[in-house]
Structure 1
Amino acid sequence: MVSSKDVAKLANVSQTTVSRVLNSPELVRPKTVEKVMKAIKELNYHPDPVARSLVSKQTKTIALISGPLYNPFFVDTTSAIVDYANEKDYQVIVHFSNDDKEDITNRYIFKNKVDGIIMSSILMDDPIYEQMKCLDIPIIFFNRRHSKECNFVEIDNEMAGFLLTEHLIQKGHKEIVWISGQLDKSTFHDRYKGYERALKTYNYPMKKENMFIIDTDPNTIKSVFKKIISREKKITAIAASTDAIALLLLDLYGKLNVKVPEEVAIIGIDNVDLSSLGYVQLSTVGPSESYNLGRVAIEKLFDLIEKKTDKVQITAPVQLYERKTT
């Protein structure tokens, strides 16, 4: 098996120089780098990542704690995060969470040495954040954020909730159902605030029977759907706080041959890739530009790792994407 010693011998340099070329080539003269790289190629040498991490004190690994894959938002963002990390020659330890914090803490953060953490599954007042800070590595949240000072990338969730609700009110809907995740998460908390603001702005009555603050797993959403369709008073529109909720409801109504939007309008938030497909055409609210939160967050995490910045706090503007479901 070829070792760095063999490379050093062929290139007529020390093993220390080979190590510098692999870990900090900017500190080595270009001619020396060229000579060492030529030897590496000739010997087909593959550096041991564990050994390299001991020298550089870097693991070339990051941890991604994402939301569940039944939500297409996390499919889109996870793909973007992993692709960019691979471009940077980093590995990604991925865990898809349903807010099982103890499991995350024990298995995916503190038991794996990583150079940085990118995370979506965080509650606004989650005690895990104080524990994570003790790791003394860069941490960034996307889609959600902690209530304390932290690095984050998000959309303007309050405005998203407002625009979604305003759109349905301006369409003349009188019976609007709001379906949201739990309000201990910044995403749902802020979107709910936008919903409330829109109702007050348009003097629209807030009806408790039309508000569902729930766990957003598919089975719970299906239970809510059964309650909605069993009502005597007809619901004319559903304001879903995520595209994942809206897409599932669109499918459930379709199976009952209910026409959307003629009989019920449906709108979501996030503008996931699926929402714009020709056979879906879901109305939604999302970033004003082509803006994958996962991609932006991973780029900013590397800025933190590489010490190009020490603070990231991004709230992207949003807009309405009116399509065929409203």
Structure 2
Amino acid sequence: MITIKEVSELAQVSQSTVSRALNGHPTVKEANREKVFKAIEQLGYKPNAFAQALASSRSNSIGMLVGSLDGPFYGPLMHTAEDTVRQNNIHLIVTSGQESRTKELDSIQFLQSKLVDGLIVHSDKLSDDELIKIAKDSETMIVLNRFIPEISDRCIYIDNELGGYLATKHLLENGHKKVACITGQLSKVDSRDRFQGYRNALLEYGVEYNAGLFVEGRFDHQGNHDAARRLLDRDPEITAIFCQNDNIALAVYDVAAERNLIIGRDLSVVGFDNDTHSQHIRPRLSTVDFPVHEMGEEAAKGVLSLINKRDYPLKHKLTPTLIIRESVAKL
């Protein structure tokens, strides 16, 4: 069995330096930290996690609450956060709220019972007041996709209103007047903000808002085909649709095919998220890029800085960008 003494000898540092490096102590020089982890990898050393936690009063784990454990948004978010914390020899424990307030609370309580060193919380159902209370109890907590003024220094979010504006503006710039919108669940702040961006663009271009050109869909795959059918049945003269995520856009592609409408000619579509499949469908989907990898990395670095009491210039408000491909026709 490999010991910490052998690691220290190979790395040519003291045993205490090895211990501090394993515990993520901020006083360890980066050069020494690299030597320690190189020696650990070379020797195949496995530290005793329980003893380590007792000695350091740390579990060397971070808890993460997300809305779902699959999908093109949560998958990259979890992957990037996990990859970042693992570089610091810390494990990520992930739970899902499954769009239930009770399950979200239960998940957070479960993570806290595991004595995680920090929390990354992406909540759909908990109120601002509830998150503020949890943040007061957990000083090493980062909140994702939510801006809460009382804990703004620990919030990371995207400018969803700007994203909705950019998508709609692109359609309007290409001469479309009957621009419809299929939202995600309006119980989610993302959907409401993206819808506000849609309305802002209409106002800027002097196009009157028409409630008949809007229908509520879902960010997952449930019910979006019916939503698209209802929308096109209401007004066959619709020439463009802003879909509030790329899953919704896929449903619009299917419904357009049912009706012999060609995307990029008869019907123009802009999505949101820039999922992997958006560049592989035909025509390739114009969409708003959600910097999900950046969010995951910032969340991990932010919670690590809180745990280690180190200053880190956390990026609070992330900026979406429009990716123009071939799904929009110019009228």
Answer yes or no: same fold by TM over 0.5.
yes
Using the TM superposition, give the Cα deviation of residue 67 of structure 1 relative to its aligned residue in structure 2, in angstroms: 3.0
Cα 1:304–1:277, aligned 2, differ >3 Å: closer, same or farther? farther
* Structure 1 partner of 2:321: 319
Cα 1:177–1:113, aligned 2, differ >3 Å: closer, same or farther? same
Using the TM superposition, give the Cα deviation of residue 228 of structure 1 relative to its aligned residue in structure 2, in angstroms: 2.3
Cα RMSD for the two superposed structures: 4.0
- Structure 1 residue runs without a partner (length 5+): 9-13
* Structure 2 partner of 1:83: 83
Task: Kindly indicate whether the alpha-carbon contact (under 8 Å) linking 1:145 and 1:186 is maintained by their aligned counterparts in 2.
Answer: no
Using the TM superposition, give the Cα deviation of residue 98 of structure 1 relative to its aligned residue in structure 2, in angstroms: 3.1
Using the TM superposition, give the Cα deviation of residue 297 of structure 1 relative to its aligned residue in structure 2, in angstroms: 2.3
Cα 1:292–1:172, aligned 2, differ >3 Å: closer, same or farther? same
Q: Counterparts of 1:247-258 in structure 2 under 5 Å?
A: 247-254=250-257, 257-258=260-261
Using the TM superposition, give the Cα deviation of residue 60 of structure 1 relative to its aligned residue in structure 2, in angstroms: 1.3
Higher mean displacement: 315-324 or 61-70: 61-70
* Structure 1 partner of 2:146: 144
Partner SS for 1:89: coil
Q: d(CA) in 1 for partners of 2:5 and 2:296?
A: 41
Q: Counterparts of 1:124-143 in structure 2 under 5 Å?
A: 125-143=127-145
Asked if residue 263 in structure 1 is aligned to residue 263 in structure 2, the reply is no
Task: Kindly indicate whether the alpha-carbon contact (under 8 Å) linking 2:182 and 2:241 is maintained by their aligned counterparts in 1.
Answer: yes
Using the TM superposition, give the Cα deviation of residue 173 of structure 1 relative to its aligned residue in structure 2, in angstroms: 1.8
Using the TM superposition, give the Cα deviation of residue 120 of structure 1 relative to its aligned residue in structure 2, in angstroms: 2.2
Task: Kindly indicate whether the alpha-carbon contact (under 8 Å) linking 1:268 and 1:285 is maintained by their aligned counterparts in 2.
Answer: yes
Partner SS for 1:238: strand
The structure 2 residue matched to 1:201, chosen from 201, 204, 215, is 204
Letter in 1 for 2:63: A
Q: d(CA) in 2 for partners of 1:37 and 1:205?
A: 61
Task: Kindly indicate whether the alpha-carbon contact (under 8 Å) linking 1:177 and 1:239 is maintained by their aligned counterparts in 2.
Answer: yes
Cα 1:265–1:86, aligned 2, differ >3 Å: closer, same or farther? same
Cα 1:132–1:261, aligned 2, differ >3 Å: closer, same or farther? same
* Structure 2 partner of 1:211: 214
Using the TM superposition, give the Cα deviation of residue 292 of structure 1 relative to its aligned residue in structure 2, in angstroms: 3.0
Q: d(CA) in 1 for partners of 2:286 and 2:239?
A: 15
Higher mean displacement: 215-224 or 56-65: 215-224
Identity of aligned residues (%): 29
* Structure 1 partner of 2:48: 48
TM-score of the superposed pair, with normalisation by structure 1: 0.80
Residue by residue over 1:200-249, the C-alpha shift from the partner in whole angstroms, topping out at 9 and shown as x without a partner, is 11111111111123443322323212312433533211111222322333
Q: d(CA) in 2 for partners of 1:24 and 1:140?
A: 19
Q: d(CA) in 2 for partners of 1:255 and 1:70?
A: 28
Q: d(CA) in 1 for partners of 2:75 and 2:40?
A: 38
Q: What count of residue pairs does the alignment treat as equivalent?
A: 322
TM-score of the superposed pair, with normalisation by structure 2: 0.79
Partner SS for 2:284: coil
Q: Counterparts of 1:59-208 in structure 2 under 5 Å?
A: 59-68=59-68, 71-107=71-107, 108-122=110-124, 125-146=127-148, 148-150=150-152, 151-208=154-211
